């Protein structure tokens, strides 16, 4: 996963109606979100910029970054 210097990774949460919310979450918050999606209801997450409360019944997708962003044409 692509992580910042604080160990947080980019997670984008998509909602019914087309809105999306990009967050920087710890692995623990990401895992808590994934578990809460199965149960529904509200979930509180600690983003790098503050606390966010998500209505899990409105979430249609969760996207996590799989690797570091790179620029160029090299093979790694």
Residue 18: CATH number of its domain = 2.30.30
For residue 59, pLDDT beyond 90 = yes
What's the pLDDT at 7?
A: 81
Residue 71 is assigned to a structural domain of this protein: no
Residue 58 is assigned to a structural domain of this protein: yes
> Cβ atoms within 10 A of the Cβ of 27, count?
12
Contacts of 17 (CB under 8 A, 6+ apart): none
Q: What are phi and psi of 71, to 5 degrees?
A: -120, 135
Tell me the pTM.
Answer: 0.77
Over residues 39-51, the pLDDT tens digits come to 989 999 999 899 9
Residue 33 is assigned to a structural domain of this protein: yes
Mean pLDDT, range 5-20, rounded to an integer = 90
Range of the domain at 22: 9-64
Q: Domain tally for the chain?
A: 1
Contact 15, 58 (CB under 8 A): yes
Least confident of 21-25, 31-35, 40-44, 72-76: 72-76
Residue 73 is assigned to a structural domain of this protein: no
């Amino acid at each position: 996963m692509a992580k910042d210097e604080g160990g947080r990774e980019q997670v984008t949460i998509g909602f019914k109606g087309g809105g999306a919310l990009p967050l920087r979450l710890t692995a623990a918050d990401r895992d808590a979100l994934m578990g809460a999606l199965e149960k529904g209801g509200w979930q509180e997450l600690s983003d790098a910029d503050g606390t966010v409360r998500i209505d899990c019944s409105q979430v249609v997708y969760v996207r996590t970054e799989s690797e570091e962003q790179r620029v160029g044409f090299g093979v790694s």
